[in-house]
Structure 1
């Protein structure tokens, strides 16, 4: 049976997918459905141009922004590559500084651009660092050099207050302020700017382009330096008024201490003056500076730099100036030294210069106090009269100088050195000194009677005495003590105008001296310092002096002085010592019983001469003790007459008040005088009666230059 069985088919699994037949159509992917076209409608057609414009603006904006970003990056890298190391950036002064020392070597005045020395953000008092950040840029450690929030706020404030967007508040960060202090890397070039002031004004200009450049430069600084490096540059270069560049100079100037030792209230005051240094400097207005400091203290508390207790303590004890900063003495003297020193080492110095001077701060303070006391107690409040005082040693070393009623002035008109005024009777000692040199005795008689002198080209001239009286024959000594005019004119004519002029010039009167007979009455003009220097020649025994204030000058760090005035002082002899001693005796009688009685000093010998010009336009008093010569001038700047003032009045009061304070605690020094032989020839000197020997006249006409 098995042989008839059919062979079995192999088992095959069923196809999972049926085989496609040729007749079967391949399925096609359905075509994407098109969105039905929207009909725009009226509004769509209206807004279509605006939509297109916005899309275009967007495409242009991001492309332009990308270009601007690239340009800013290029600018940042360009400036960053040129920035030098930090220590090369801290002292950017164009001018140098001048430090003036008194006779004892103590500082009394500073001029020029002061720089106290290199300080860093790490070494200064943390209170100073915190005060600057709190008041100038509270987000300093968070922004990349510019602060958009600060700029937007500043623009909003400016517009609200009716200013331009860039006027007033600038919204500048500390980094931007530092960039401006660096003048965006542009150095001073005298061929481009006329002077430093023009350069600084150009650096402070505010334009849109400059603000953009400033922002890029600030970001370059942030890229190159650390935050503390930037703060270090700022702390060293910021201007803080009174010529101080950098916080170290300001701290030394105002508080007499380093910036590393500042208390919170002191740091706050310094930071508070940054917006307007010249106006807010504590030396100009301490109360206003304290108010600004109080505001900064509150900011420091608000920002967590001070606790409430620390703030209360600081506000209860506001910063005050050091004794030296408060004193501010010797301003006129310092200006005089600066004006008379070599300009390239004083007014225009690019170095840091130290000048040793002759100033005595004790005497200077006494002089200022005396002048103010007289004006407060003896001068009408409505008076606009001015006064000047000079105190010097017998060798011409100036110890004190006041050039006006505003004793604290700096850079003001100096009436002691710049005002040329008629000298009046303070010229008479040159006449009598010449007469004694030629052989006259103080006991010789001169006729105080009316005279008439014919002046070629002017006609007859009839001089008058101040009191309009005549005393007849009187001694030269009495004529000097009472300041009689007619005897002075007669003696001037007798000894010879030319000789008297030569003697006066020999004693240092460099101003022109009148040629006519009126020269005897002091119609010529001179300065107070010239006249005081000439009287120093009487005190030292008849030798000329050159008034001086500068002793030596050297650049900071150098030991050898570049200038030494040790050769100044007493110069060549003008009249004999005996003649000077007898003249001093005559001038002592001016104080003992003459026109200078108000200048008497208890226990001291005083020699002096008063002077009053026509219509009391000028009043003088110049006198000396054994140690110092002091000259006083008083008058109106517009040359109008003084009211009820003569040389023996208020000027004598100023002289006495000055010398009472100067001599306080000193042992009286005797004057070098000689009492002339107590004899008289009985001769009454009248016009054209005296004839000195040709030998003596020829000597004095060429000036006496030895014994």
Structure 2
């Protein structure tokens, strides 16, 4: 009887155990099915690709900017210090290598501790659970999220090794101040790569992970608290057995060692934005902000620093003299190109990128004034005009289509009468240039401008001679490169190579599109003419007289009506540089604030410093062997004889040179040869 009763008891117990086991299993299966229906599959986990920042490099391979929704650069496990993982596990997950994604003992322990304290004092999420939360889930605190987090963590553990999980975690988590992943954090807080982080730096970063939106502020507001919290992490590493007490004390004695330039806009912001717009147009937003592109550019950060320094100093000086309030700032732009490749070496698009992202080097259409004249003269030379041909610099009256009369003037309101083509451009004579344009006609000039890279709208009017058609600084500076480049125009280029996140090359070039815009002979004559501008009597002579720029160079000033725009564009055999200064509102810079007074100083200081800093050799412009070079009598413009008192050296396209010898200065009674031609003038 007794044994029958006992037997029935065990049968019932077994039956109920089976029933409750089935109920528990069904409930568990239901929970898994319910909460797991929207979770990533094993296949999704295995092919997960994190959002990566696009890196923009300068010409020396230095990162100048990261573009990202989440500023992140992925680094492999072996480039992350072991001390970082030791600190992480000591603080967050000491049983990491002994659980399958969820630490049930830690859950019980945390629950008891929190109940005892009456508040949340201890968490139980494993590193894998935190990774699951960062990758696929929200940060909203709820039972539902915790269940999904645990299920996802278990799936992650099945898909990846422990080492891979740690690598993903280090590259995924947020460290504050826009830094996602340990590489971005190392750059943000210590200005170094992740692999170079020290023990105490790793400890600080692990502390920041506890509250990345609040703790970074303490680094500057209350560094003593930050130091104390970092040292607590070091103590936990000792307790964990990761480091010795002696090593921890040595690390504690070191300061925070934070990077001092946190939060700056970044180097070359206008150039970077120019590159970003190019990338957006070609690759789209997802690739630029999530795809981890590596973009290698032409930027020379040394020259960029010089460009910003000299331009901003000049703008500050002009602002101090301005009759307008500081709310109407004087603006400016500078662009420097390598003449034979079109590489953009430096670009400044305004005085303050944070205040105005409008890039005045590439987006602002402004009247160039006389800075446009070289294109007109190039068209004239290519159509048979010679440097020694005569133009009339006298008053002119032109009827307009609306019945009015246009009476243009020279800058200084004077007239020189008959002058040579060389003198006309050297002294920037408006009236002589208008007569030159009347001879060749505006319709002739426009195709030359197009071949030289001018894409802005151009009206075929006589006021073109005064630079009334608006252009951008970049396109006009690139047009000037055509002259020292033997007549070949090269498209300005900022991007040389783009790679995807795996290192596959998406595009690569040595330079931009190029085409022959002028014959080599015409280009050489134009170089000679623009060299005259830099000589005594020329509008660009101040670069040599006041700023000590002695290298072979050519250039041209530009000033518009009412002194609203001031330009100087010039070149050496190696570098071309353009400078523009003015107000966005097209207000007057002030009396006598012409290109030579306002833009030329920036150009001269930059070009001198750029060539000297780079150690560029002093070289002459290349002269094609087909160009005819002659010594001429300055009075008759015929081939000089030993008796000519003043001789000039001139250049000609083949077939256009003088063939007659000077017949004014000949041997005769009492006449002697001019003494060693001391009056010789070379242009």
Q: When the two structures are superposed, what TM-score results if normalisation uses the length of structure 1? A: 0.68
Please, which runs of 5 or more residues in structure 2 have no aligned partner? 1-22, 97-101, 238-244, 638-655, 657-683
1:360 aligns with 2:300: yes
Matched residue, 1:46: none
TM-fit CA distance, 1:462:
1.4
| 8 Å CA contact retained: 1:444, 1:681 | no
Equivalent in 532, 536, 544 of residue 589 of structure 1: 532
Which string of whole-angstrom CA distances, capped at 9 and with x for unpartnered residues, describes residues 490-518 of structure 1? 21121110111111111000000123221
Please, which runs of 5 or more residues in structure 1 have no aligned partner? 1-66, 158-170, 185-202, 282-286, 684-695, 697-707
Structure-to-structure mapping, 1:221-236, within 5 angstroms = 221=152, 233-236=168-171
TM-fit CA distance, 1:355:
3.1
1:617 aligns with 2:564: yes
| 8 Å CA contact retained: 2:549, 2:604 | no
1:114 aligns with 2:72: yes
Equivalent in 594, 603, 618 of residue 668 of structure 1: 618
TM-fit CA distance, 1:519:
1.6
| 8 Å CA contact retained: 2:338, 2:345 | no
1:339 aligns with 2:277: yes
TM-fit CA distance, 1:488:
1.9
Which string of whole-angstrom CA distances, capped at 9 and with x for unpartnered residues, describes residues 135-180 of structure 1? 999x998853997899999x999xxxxxxxxxxxxx9978776454
Equivalent in 330, 346, 353 of residue 268 of structure 2: 330
Matched residue, 2:506: 562
Equivalent in 299, 317, 323 of residue 229 of structure 2: 299
| 8 Å CA contact retained: 2:318, 2:330 | no
The 1:93–1:390 alpha-carbon spacing in structure 2 relative to 1, beyond 3 Å, is same
| 8 Å CA contact retained: 1:297, 1:311 | no
State the secondary structure of the residue aligned to 1:130.
Answer: helix
More moved, 213-222 vs 372-381: 372-381
Matched residue, 2:668: none
The 1:242–1:454 alpha-carbon spacing in structure 2 relative to 1, beyond 3 Å, is farther
The 1:69–1:468 alpha-carbon spacing in structure 2 relative to 1, beyond 3 Å, is farther
TM-fit CA distance, 1:277:
7.0
More moved, 229-238 vs 580-589: 229-238
Which string of whole-angstrom CA distances, capped at 9 and with x for unpartnered residues, describes residues 361-404 of structure 1? 33333323333444456752957222221111223422423233
Q: How far, CA to CA, are the matches of 1:336 and 1:300 in structure 2?
A: 41
The 1:133–1:79 alpha-carbon spacing in structure 2 relative to 1, beyond 3 Å, is farther
Matched residue, 2:600: 652
Which string of whole-angstrom CA distances, capped at 9 and with x for unpartnered residues, describes residues 222-258 of structure 1? 6666799877654321244687531134325664655
1:220 aligns with 2:151: yes
Matched residue, 2:543: 599
The 1:70–1:458 alpha-carbon spacing in structure 2 relative to 1, beyond 3 Å, is farther
State the secondary structure of the residue aligned to 1:525.
Answer: coil
Which string of whole-angstrom CA distances, capped at 9 and with x for unpartnered residues, describes residues 188-226 of structure 1? xxxxxxxxxxxxxxx57x6xxx74432332343566667
TM-fit CA distance, 1:636:
2.1
| 8 Å CA contact retained: 1:417, 1:527 | yes
Equivalent in 144, 160, 164 of residue 107 of structure 2: 144
Which string of whole-angstrom CA distances, capped at 9 and with x for unpartnered residues, describes residues 528-560 of structure 1? 11011100001112222211122233334456x
More moved, 217-226 vs 426-435: 217-226
The 1:135–1:532 alpha-carbon spacing in structure 2 relative to 1, beyond 3 Å, is farther
| 8 Å CA contact retained: 2:315, 2:351 | no
Matched residue, 1:64: none
Matched residue, 2:386: 441
Q: How far, CA to CA, are the matches of 1:152 and 1:442 in structure 2?
A: 96
Q: When the two structures are superposed, what TM-score results if normalisation uses the length of structure 2? A: 0.70
Q: How far, CA to CA, are the matches of 1:502 and 1:406 in structure 2?
A: 34
TM-fit CA distance, 1:627:
0.8
1:247 aligns with 2:182: yes
C-alpha RMSD of matched pairs (Å): 4.8
Structure-to-structure mapping, 1:459-478, within 5 angstroms = 459-478=404-423
Q: How far, CA to CA, are the matches of 1:392 and 1:544 in structure 2?
A: 12
State the secondary structure of the residue aligned to 1:620.
Answer: strand
Q: How far, CA to CA, are the matches of 2:428 and 2:558 in structure 1?
A: 8
| 8 Å CA contact retained: 1:445, 1:475 | yes
| 8 Å CA contact retained: 2:265, 2:354 | no
State the secondary structure of the residue aligned to 2:463.
Answer: helix
Which string of whole-angstrom CA distances, capped at 9 and with x for unpartnered residues, describes residues 11-64 of structure 1? xxxxxxxxxxxxxxxxxxxxxxxxxxxxxxxxxxxxxxxxxxxxxxxxxxxxxx
| 8 Å CA contact retained: 1:632, 1:655 | yes
State the secondary structure of the residue aligned to 1:364.
Answer: helix
Equivalent in 527, 537, 543 of residue 482 of structure 2: 537
Matched residue, 1:380: 320
TM-fit CA distance, 1:106:
4.7
Matched residue, 1:7: none
| 8 Å CA contact retained: 2:303, 2:610 | yes
The 1:372–1:274 alpha-carbon spacing in structure 2 relative to 1, beyond 3 Å, is farther
Equivalent in 86, 93, 100 of residue 56 of structure 2: 100
Which string of whole-angstrom CA distances, capped at 9 and with x for unpartnered residues, describes residues 110-152 of structure 1? 33453322449x9644357637986999x99885399789999
Structure-to-structure mapping, 1:399-414, within 5 angstroms = 399-405=344-350, 412-414=357-359
TM-fit CA distance, 1:337:
2.7
TM-fit CA distance, 1:452:
1.3
The one of the two structures with greater contact order (alpha-carbon pairs below 8 A, sep at least 6) is: 1
Aligned residues: 576
More moved, 97-106 vs 631-640: 97-106
The 1:653–1:214 alpha-carbon spacing in structure 2 relative to 1, beyond 3 Å, is farther
Q: How far, CA to CA, are the matches of 1:470 and 1:150 in structure 2?
A: 96
